Each structure stands twice: as structure tokens, then as C-alpha cells.
Amino acid sequence: MSYDRNLINLTAVEAVALLRARRVSAAELVEASAGRITAVEPAINALPILCLERAREAARHAMPGDGPASLGGLPISVKDLDEVAGVRHTMGGSVLFEHTVSTVSSPMVEILEGNGAIPVAKSNSPEFGFNASTINALHGPTRNPYDTRLTVGGSSGGAAASVATGEVWLATGSDLGSSIRLPAAFCGVVGLRPSPGRVPRARRGMPFSTLPVLGPIARTVADVALGLDAMVGERWSDPLSLPARPGEFSAALARPVAPARVAWSADLGVTPVDPEIAAICAAAVARFAEAGAAVEEACPDLSQAVEVFHAIRGVNHLAAFAPLVEAEGARVIPEIHASLERARAVPIERFAWAERERAAMFGRLMDFFETHDVLVCPAAIMPPFPAEWRRVDMLGNHRFDSYIDWIAITFAISLLGVPVLSLPVGFTAAGLPVGIQIIGRPRGDAAVLSAGAVLEQVIGAHGRRPVDPVSPRAAA
């Protein structure tokens, strides 16, 4: 199936501008997306559930719109943990949901479609979003477009790969421990973990928890800001949801402001980091100085974050997944069983300690932000590994205690309820993408996006153009 490469090369902002000017139609973009999906899916397996006929019907009725949140008929992918009415919903390739078809859309998808987004596919995810590598029983692994032998990370791996290859201009993701930031880094694109409540969640799971959030993935910071504007909104069904100001985030990037004081940490004091990754990230962060920022190596004390995260995540898992495990037993993936077993072994006093320590870490971070505007660290501690791996056990001579401890550099920040931008900043000697996290104050999403846009201007937008999947095995 052929497609217009010129349309695929557009950023989301450029494509929406053309839609609003009626210089391109939603139908043309849907067909370009469909053609690109046909071309790259055999190599990457990012979008296992298509809804192209639904998208074509939506495109026939799409209106350009001129509101600041209007996407005017822009094709997107929706992570297979959120529902799209009339489309298969397998909860990340779980055999328990193999034949489920959604009757309603999730609140975020309703808002996006109300703002002119057109879902063309559901993106691949590990089952229930549980792992930091995108592989599952129904759909198999999603592969990294920079080297199809390797992983895209997780759990929003299909989302990041669909954007990186130009299958869509914008993707939705979700993030509890790493799930937007890590795949964005591994695929060389931009992802935002917004402030809790910024994007309304569906009525399931733990509605009062600030750990899981929804957010956008795209190829530039401006595209992410546009996507965030199109998905935010207050919904009574999500008790944490926040009021939205139309176009707030795109407006902040009209004149992005550099942070005056930038703190850099290679490891947040919680994890080993591959030396090549640390060096690439440090060199990129140093270039904030070219925008007038003062850069120093500093970090608040987050040393207890790993144990705190395991305890608090464990309580959430006991509440959310214990009934499912009791009902379905071995049909539930082993990682969920392991998490519940670990949580059950923790004394109640330890859960109380974790909440106290979480509050103390938050207090130290707020004190830190009295003298710093943003904190920056790597978004991944190592380059992508084989796509078939479900976990990482070691980095160098360091053995991780848990199957998720290799993502401590992201989940340490998830605990603190602050916005985090994942921004691509370079490549390893092997040509694999490297990303950083830009961490800001609570509800400071606009400032974090602004800081990212400034650095993107200095170092260049590494993911601006879609990449064609590279298969070293085929080349050999």
C-alpha cells in the first residue's frame, strides 16, 4: 500500500496547521497513516489492533476546527490499556481479554475525539502494563525501529514505536513506573508524564493513587504540548482530575523560557548507570548553559526510593489485582503473582514507613526546588536490550533485587507527583537513542515543556523525522 511520505514527515503541529488551513484533509492523513502502517508493521509490531474503517468513517465527518486544543482530524494511536468504542481491548495482550470489544471509550479518548483526534489503531503493551518491556502472550514483542532485534521498553512501547516510525503523529501512553519515559528514550521520541490528574483516567484500578497517569508521546516537544492540550480535562469520574485551560501548554511554547538553575544527577543516588549513557546525558544537559542556565551537579536525597516504591506499589497491587489472581490463577502473568507475594510478606509497619518516607522525599524535593528550577537525569540507565527479554537482571557487576529495579531512575520520580519530560538528546556509538528526564515542580507541566523546548532548540530535535526500521539481521 503506497502513502505520501511528505505527509508522514510532517510533525503533529505542522499536520494540524495544514488541517486547519484546509490544505490537507483528515482522509488524506488517515490513508497516509494506513499506508505507513502497512509498510513498517511487519518489522516493528507496534500496532497489533487496527481500526482503520472506523478511522475512515471519522475522517469523512472531521471538521478542521480552530480552537487551541483542536487536532482537526489528526490520526493517533491509543495504548491498549485505554478503551476505544467498538474496538478490541485486550488490556495489553492478555489472554483474559483476547476477545473483548469495548462498548465505550475511556474519558481521555472521549476528550481526544471531541478535539478532533482520529484513532487508527491500538498500540502494543505488556499485559496490564505490568512490565518495562513490551511483549505479551497475544501479540508478541514490539521491536525497536533503530534495531529490530531490540526492545522498545515499556509499557507504552507500541505507542513510542508508532510515533518514531511515522505510523501516527501522536500517541497516548500511560506511566506508573517508567511507561512513557523509557519507551520514548529507547525510540528517540518525546514523552511526558504529566502531573497526576492532568489527564482524566478511566473508572478502574485505584482512583486515588497518584502513581498511574496518562500522557502524550510525539516526535517534538511542541507536538507533545499540542497532544496534552487535546487530552486534558476535568471529569467527575476521576477524583484527581484537574480543570483545564484551553491551549495552555502550546501557548507556553510560543516563547519558551529557559530554566535559570538546572541540577544534574547521573543516578539520583538510587541505581547504577551505564557509563556511555551517563556521559551522553551529561554532555547534553551541559548545553543548557548555551541558553543562559546555570548547571550544577546536585540532587535531593532519594536514597530510599526503591524500597518505598515497592511497598506502595505492592499495596496498590494487592488492592487491584488480588481478586483477579484468585479468580484466574495461572492465567495471570507470573510478574503479578510475584508482586502480590512480595507485598503480602511486608509487615504493615513497613507500609506505614514507606508513606512517611515518601512524604519526607517529597519535602526534600520541594526544598530542592527552592534553589533549582529543574532536576535532570537519564531516562534509562542502559541502551535497549533484546526484544524477547521480559526483565533485566544485571548491569555490569550489579545484580538487581527485583525484576523492575532497573527502572528505579524513573519510578523514584513517579512517587513524588511531579511532571517529567523524556527528551531524546543523542545516540550511543551503536546508533541507539539516549534520552533524559526533565523533572519540574508539582503541576509545573508548562515549565517542564518550556525547558524541554529550549534544550531541543539548542541540541536539535532528534526524533523530528520518522525513522525506517533497521533490521541488522536482514542486512547481514
pLDDT digits (tens, 9 = 90+) for 41-56: 999 999 999 999 999 9
122 labelled catalytic: no
Tell me whether residue 220 is in a domain: yes
At 362, list the grid cell: 517529597
Strands 261-264 and 374-378: parallel
Please count the CA atoms within 13 angstroms of the CA of 270 that sit on its side-chain side.
Answer: 27
Tell me the C-alpha distance between 108 and 114, whole Å.
10
- How much is the mean pLDDT over the chain? 96
What value does the mean pLDDT take over residues 266-270?
Answer: 98
Residue 475 clears pLDDT 60, i.e. is over it: no
Residue of 177, 185, 237 whose CA lies nearest to 210:
177
88-118 pLDDT tens trace: 999 999 999 999 999 999 999 999 999 999 9
Tell me whether residue 332 is in a domain: no
Quickly count: other Cβ atoms within 10 Å of residue 3's Cβ: 18
Residue 476 clears pLDDT 80, i.e. is over it: no
DSSP string covering 323-381: HHHHHHGGGS-HHHHHHHHHHHTS-HHHHHHHHHHHHHHHHHHHHHTTT-SEEEEES-S
Tell me whether residue 14 is in a domain: yes
- What is the residue range of 109's domain? 5-305+351-475
Query: What is the identity of the amino acid at 196?
Result: P
| pLDDT for 403 | 86
Of the listed 33, 70, 77, 79, which one is catalytic? 79
Question: Which are the contacts of 327, defined by CB distance < 8 A and separation ≥ 6?
Answer: none
* Count of domains observed in the chain: 1
Tell me whether residue 325 is in a domain: no
31-86 pLDDT tens trace: 999 999 999 999 999 999 999 999 999 999 999 888 899 999 999 999 999 999 99
* 153: three-class secondary structure by DSSP: coil
* 221: three-class secondary structure by DSSP: helix
Backbone torsions φ then ψ of 83, nearest 5 degrees: -95, 145
Which residue's entry shows cell 490544505?
Answer: 23
Tell me whether residue 343 is in a domain: no
What value does the mean pLDDT take over residues 115-136?
Answer: 97
| pLDDT for 205 | 82
What distance lies between CA 361 and its chain's CA centroid?
24
Number of H helices, E strands in the chain: 16, 15
313-349 pLDDT tens trace: 999 989 999 999 999 999 999 889 988 998 999 999 9
Of the listed 33, 125, 179, 195, which one is catalytic? 179
CB 337 within 8 A of CB 325: yes
237 labelled catalytic: no
Tell me the C-alpha distance between 277 and 271, whole Å.
13
CB 376 within 8 A of CB 436: yes
Which residue's entry shows cell 533485566?
Answer: 392
Task: Give the burial class of 389: count Cβ atoms within 10 A of its Cβ; 0-12 exposed, 13-18 middle, 19 or more buried.
Answer: middle
Helix residue ranges, H only, 200-333: 221-231, 248-252, 275-286, 305-328
DSSP string covering 257-272: ---SEEEE-SSTTTS-
Q: Which residues pair with 394 in a beta bridge?
A: 399
Tell me whether residue 386 is in a domain: yes
* 435: three-class secondary structure by DSSP: strand
- The CATH number of the domain holding residue 368 is 3.90.1300.10
* 388: three-class secondary structure by DSSP: coil
Tell me whether residue 341 is in a domain: no
Of the listed 70, 106, 133, 155, which one is catalytic? 155
This prediction has a pTM of: 0.97
Residue 142 clears pLDDT 70, i.e. is over it: yes
H or E element in which residue 455 lies: helix 445-459
The span from the first CA to the last CA of the chain, in angstroms, equals 26
Query: Residue 2: which pLDDT band, with cuts at 50, 70 and 90?
Result: confident
What value does the mean pLDDT take over residues 241-247?
Answer: 96
H or E element in which residue 100 lies: none
179 labelled catalytic: yes
